Amino acid sequence: MCAHHYNEKRRANMRCCADCGKTLYKRRTAPKDGLCQPCRTIRNARTCRECGAKHTDHARKSGRCNICQRKSISLRSRIGEDRLRDYYLLRQRGMSRDQAVAHIEAGLPVVRKIGNCVPKITTMHAVQMAGEALAITPEEILSTSRFTAAVDCRAIVAVVMSRNGVSLAQIGRRLNRDHTSILHLRQTFPKRAAQRPALAKIVETIMEAA
């Protein structure tokens, strides 16, 4: 085959982009819409409702691009740089994200622990009081037991000590648990208290005794 016929056959098997005219793949593997990838991206681009810029981010109900969406949910833009420490302190004390943001946006103060003050009640004292209330020994609470009474006692201790300003890591070291386990106990305590209302009364009793 001569060069002339070879080039004609090659051109017959090639396709061009409908927008930019760029040569595409062979006819068998060419895309059905007849567009190259950059032109397809431009056609599928959306317009942000807030800034008006074109973007290819996933569709949202708000119609915002990723940049505007991050700005709308940014903590620094909502509560200010100077109150980020208060926000994280409220989160550490068990508040949800929305509750902490609403607390700060309302201008309410956040009481911080002064200096190296000692909590009103120690973790081991809370373990002993919770064990007496549920008729279980402190050794079983600190063991690897997963009986309901033992887990309930650990949850009570986690809630009480968190309200007294003790960190999750410190509570975990006393209970021979990881800080993530203490966080889980604290987050699931409302569900436990709804099933067994006596747990909430025990927490209030220990807090009053402290």
Average pLDDT over residues 155-174: 90
Model pTM score: 0.47
Count: domains in the chain: 3
Res 26: pLDDT: 53
Give the model's pLDDT for residue 206: 87
Residue 114's pLDDT band (cuts 50, 70, 90)? very low
For residue range 103-113, what is the model confidence (pLDDT) as tens digits? 888 888 777 65
Q: What is the CATH number of the domain that holds 158?
A: 1.10.1750.10
pLDDT in tens, 4-26: 676 666 666 667 777 777 776 55
**36/100 same-domain check:** no
Instruction: Tell me what pLDDT residue 119 has.
Output: 56
Structural domain including 34 reads 16-69
**Domain co-membership, 87 together with 160:** no
**173 plus 196 within the same structural domain:** yes
DSSP letter at 196 equals -
- Give pLDDT, residue 74: 63
Instruction: Please name which of 136, 117, 125, 126 lies closest in space to residue 159, comparing C-alpha atoms.
Output: 126
Find the mean pLDDT for residues 157-168. 89
Same domain, 63 and 83: no
Place of tokens 């106990």: 185
- Answer yes or no: do 94 and 172 share one domain: no
Q: Is residue 74 part of a domain?
A: no
Amino acid 139: pLDDT: 92
Are residue 38 and residue 89 in the same domain, yes or no?
A: no
| Structure confidence at residue 192 (pLDDT) | 92
Taking residues 145-154, report their average pLDDT: 92
* Average confidence (pLDDT) over 152-161: 93
Q: What is the pLDDT of residue 12?
A: 60
Residues 26 and 88 in one domain: no
- Shared-domain flag, residues 84 and 62: no
Q: Average model confidence (pLDDT) for the chain?
A: 79
What is the SS3 assignment for 145-193? CCCHHHHHHHHHHHHHHHHCCCCHHHHHHHHCCCHHHHHHHHHCHHHHH
Question: Could you tell me if 94 and 170 lie in one domain?
Answer: no
Total Cβ atoms within 10 A of residue 67: 14
Indicate if 150 and 197 belong to the same structural domain.
yes
Based on the fold, state whether residues 132 and 177 are members of the same structural domain.
Answer: yes
Token representation of residue 59 = 């569709």
Residue-level pLDDT at 152: 94
The answer as to whether 115 is a domain residue is no
Phi, psi (5° rounding) for residue 15?
A: -125, 155
Instruction: Using the predicted structure, report yes or no on whether residue 72 has a pLDDT greater than 50.
Output: yes
| Residue 1's pLDDT band (cuts 50, 70, 90) | low
Q: What is the DSSP string of 80-94?
A: -GGGHHHHHHHHHTT
The distance of Cα 130 from the centroid of its chain, to the nearest Å, equals: 31
Question: Who wins on pLDDT, 201 or 66?
Answer: 201
115: pLDDT strictly greater than 60: no
- pLDDT at position 49 is 72
Do 65 and 86 have their domain in common?
Answer: no
